[in-house]
Each structure stands twice: as structure tokens, then as C-alpha cells.
Amino acid sequence: MSQSSPVARVALEDESESTRQPGIRNGSRSDGRRILHYLSSPMLGGAEEYALSLLAAMPDQGMVPYLAAPQPLLDALGPRLAALDSRCVAIERTSRLDWGPAKRFVNFLNAEGIDLVHSHQFVASLFASPLARLARVPAVVETFHLREAWREGKWFKGSFWLDRQVGRLVDRYIAVSHAAERHLLETKGIAQSKVVTIHNGRDLTRFHPPSRAEIARARAELGLSDKQVLLVLGRLEPQKGHEFLIDALRRVVPRWPKLVALFAGEGRLESELMARREAAHLTEHISFLGYRADTERLLAAADLVVLPSLFEGLPLVAVETLAMGRPFVATDVEGTREIVADGETGLLVTPADPASLAEGIERILADPALGARLGCRGRALVEDKFDIRRQIAKTFDVYRQLLSGTPIRKARARTS
């Protein structure tokens, strides 16, 4: 493993290394419940932000936070993880035939005395849930963020028999939206008694409507003072529908020549989308920013935010956009429509339809007063239903219910 990352990690192959106790704030006991989140994707996205929010809140509740994830993700999150007071360990899975990561994961769970393993999406749960049971971890949780479109229309991948078998090992499923809950119950056949819906939330002290001065400063810092700014926050992956937005912008830009679209995010499609931008003669109107940690500044600078996804669970970008009172245009897909009411908190357009997307964008550009009204109502909705404190409290209630009556596991002493 690389030693260059600021992330604290355990040398899993070295059983003689002493165990560092994660710090506990506010006088909480060091023998608090040890909660490990497992993420299988090397890229930062909504599920990863979700996990980080929970990890950050654990110490104040007397819980000890742990994160297991691929090394590239830990490296990307280095400074943020260092501030979370969380112990992190790299789990690399280069091949399904390599059993080394499984062995190391079980050894780590036992050595640290983990009380609950919380995985994100089925691929992660398929790896972590059986191993957690093998290590006799008292409780296992899976958060289901969105349906796996890559499995649809494929005979083997489209079968959910394996999901149900793994589900026998999972104590509770957390669905981030009612659409996700329906997929678990109706498509995967998970027992209703195991499923609870807890909507995603965001920190409303961090994401708040910007003042005029904050807007002007953000636009000046980004060199966009004289532009109309369209922002897209999301991984450059097929799910997010960037290709349809580029086609929509071909229609919009001739009528709005000062429009600039900012694509913030990384992903497999970056080269392909850049080529598509060139072919559409939109080089001066679309900027690829890569991964950005300054989400609030980008949102403050934006005249409108667009989410052209083909499917969603409950997108954090929708919560963030509405929390900051920004005009929002999104595709009418499951999950998104649970936060965006068309004409009330944003505009919903037809997915995979550049003409519909272009129409929604132009409605906002042509009527700033409409955008302001939508943004104001969006903020009120988020304050009422999507505050991160509500999500955290309900999730920790799940943890406590599952662990009630079970003894706290102790970290295994190691000899040097």
C-alpha cells in the first residue's frame, strides 16, 4: 500500500501491528459501538457522500467510525477523512478469484471488534455481508441507493435470486427513496419487515441560499461574471445523461450565446463527452471541471442547475440545489420526482429527450422570476423534509435497534 496518502490505515497483512483507537469526542466512552461502512466503488459519488455524512456524525453519538474502501477512493478523500476522526482501511478487489481481500476483511472485522457493517448497494453487500456473518459481526445493514440498470435485460444479471440469498444475511435494508423501497420489495423480493425508507438529507448550514455578494464573489472567482451559468454536478457515467444535455445545448446556445455549462465530475465517459462537445462546436460553451470539492461555490455561481439522469435513487444534487434555492431542471425519473414537483420546486422534463431538456433550460433562462420562485419553494421543502439531521437520527435509530441487547465487541489485543 502507498504511504503517501494522509489517510490513516491498517496494514492488514501485518497481524503484529498495534491497533490505533479512533478518537471519541464530547467525552463519549472509547468502548462505543464500532460501525464500519464498506464502499466498493473507487469513485466519489452520492453513496460515498452519504457514508461520509454518517461517519462524521458518529463520534458525537458515542459510536466509533470505520471506513473500508478501495485505495483510490481513500486517496481522493484523504483530507476529508483525516478530519473525520475515522479509521480507514483499504480493501482492494482486483479479481473475483483473489480471496486475499476477503480474508483480510474478516481478520480486520475480528481484530477491531466491529459491531455493525453497513454496505452500500448490492455489489458491496455481496462481498461484505457474508464476510461480516463469518466474522460474527452482530448486525449487517445495506443501503439501497438506486436500481442497477446494468442488470436489466440480462438473463443471469437480471435474476435477483442471489440478492435474496444475500438478503438472508442482511438485518436491515435502508432505501433512500420510496422508489428504491418499491424496487427492493417488488423486484428483488426482499421481505418488507427488513426494509425501512430514510430519505437522503444534506447539511442545511452548509448548503444555504447565497447572498448577492456571495453570488458575485463566486462568479468572479470562477471568471464567469458576464456569463449565464448552467451547472451539472455528477459522475461522467451513462446514468447521468450528459450526452442528451450536450445535444440540448446545441439547440439552446444559438439563442443564448453567453451561456456556459460547467460539468463537474469524473468518470469513464470524459473522453467521449469531450469529443461530443467538439463535434457539436460547443468548446467555448462547455467546461469539464473534473472532481470539485467546492460544491457550494459552484452552486452559488449557477443561474440554473440541470440533472439529465436516466434513473436515480434520491439524488443528493437535487437536495443540495434546492437547499441553496437555485433553479433546477431535472428529468422526470424515479427518486428525483420525490423531491422535485414540476412547476413547484423545479422543472421536470422527459428523460433522454434533448428537445424537452432544451425547453426546460430556456424556460428558466427566459424567466428569472420563475427560477427565483422555484428556488424559494425548493428551500422550504428541503428544510421540512431533507435536513441531514433527520436522516442521521433515523439511521442511528436503526443501528441502535439492531444492536440493542447485544454485547459490545472488544478489539482483539495484538502482540508486537
- Encode pLDDT of 223-267 as tens digits: 999 999 999 999 999 999 999 999 999 999 999 999 999 999 999
**Residue 135 contacts by C-beta under 8 Å, 6 or more apart in sequence?**
106, 109, 110, 114
The stretch 409-415 carries a mean pLDDT of 66
Task: Please state, for a pLDDT cut of 90, what percent of the chain lies above it.
Answer: 80
Examine the pLDDT at 322 and tell me if it is beyond 60.
yes
pLDDT category at 416 given cuts 50, 70, 90 is very low
Sheet architecture: strand order including 34-38: 87-90, 64-69, 34-38, 116-120, 139-144, 172-175, 195-197
**Residue 344 contacts by C-beta under 8 Å, 6 or more apart in sequence?**
374, 377
pLDDT given at position 7? 38
pLDDT given at position 79? 85
pLDDT given at position 30? 47
What region, left, alpha or beta, does residue 85 occupy, with left being phi > 0 and alpha being psi -120 to 50 degrees? Answer: left
- Cα separation, 112 vs 115, in Å, equals 9
pLDDT given at position 232? 98
CATH number corresponding to 212-385: 3.40.50.2000
The stretch 180-198 carries a mean pLDDT of 96
Domain extents for the chain?
34-201+389-403, 212-385
- Cα separation, 396 vs 409, in Å, equals 18
Are 323 and 204 a contacting pair, CB within 8 Å? Answer: yes
Ranking 4-18, 118-132, 383-397 by mean pLDDT, the lowest is: 4-18
pLDDT category at 31 given cuts 50, 70, 90 is low
pLDDT given at position 6? 34
Examine the pLDDT at 13 and tell me if it is beyond 60.
no
pLDDT given at position 154? 56
Ranking 160-174, 248-262, 270-284, 399-413 by mean pLDDT, the lowest is: 399-413
What's the pLDDT tens digit per position in 194-231? Answer: 999 999 999 999 999 999 999 999 999 999 999 999 99
Examine the pLDDT at 12 and tell me if it is beyond 90.
no
pLDDT given at position 19? 36
Under DSSP, is residue 232 helix (H, G, I), strand (E, B) or coil? strand
DSSP state string for 210-228? PPHHHHHHHHHHTT-TTSE
pLDDT given at position 410? 82
What average pLDDT does the chain have? 89
Are 398 and 142 a contacting pair, CB within 8 Å? Answer: no
Topology of domain 34-201+389-403 in CATH is: Rossmann fold (3.40.50)
Task: Please state, for a pLDDT cut of 70, what percent of the chain lies above it.
Answer: 88
pLDDT given at position 97? 67
Q: Please calculate the CA angle 165-166-169 and round it to the nearest 5 degrees.
A: 110
What's the pLDDT tens digit per position in 92-136? Answer: 887 766 788 999 999 999 999 999 999 999 999 999 999 999 999
The stretch 357-366 carries a mean pLDDT of 98
Sign of CA dihedral 187, 188, 193, 197: negative
The stretch 15-30 carries a mean pLDDT of 38
Are 200 and 314 a contacting pair, CB within 8 Å? Answer: yes
Ranking 41-55, 72-86, 153-167 by mean pLDDT, the lowest is: 153-167
Examine the pLDDT at 285 and tell me if it is beyond 80.
yes
What's the pLDDT tens digit per position in 330-359? Answer: 999 999 999 999 999 999 999 999 999 999
Are 390 and 53 a contacting pair, CB within 8 Å? Answer: no
pLDDT given at position 400? 97
- Fold agreement between 34-201+389-403 and 212-385: yes
The stretch 71-99 carries a mean pLDDT of 85
Examine the pLDDT at 28 and tell me if it is beyond 60.
no
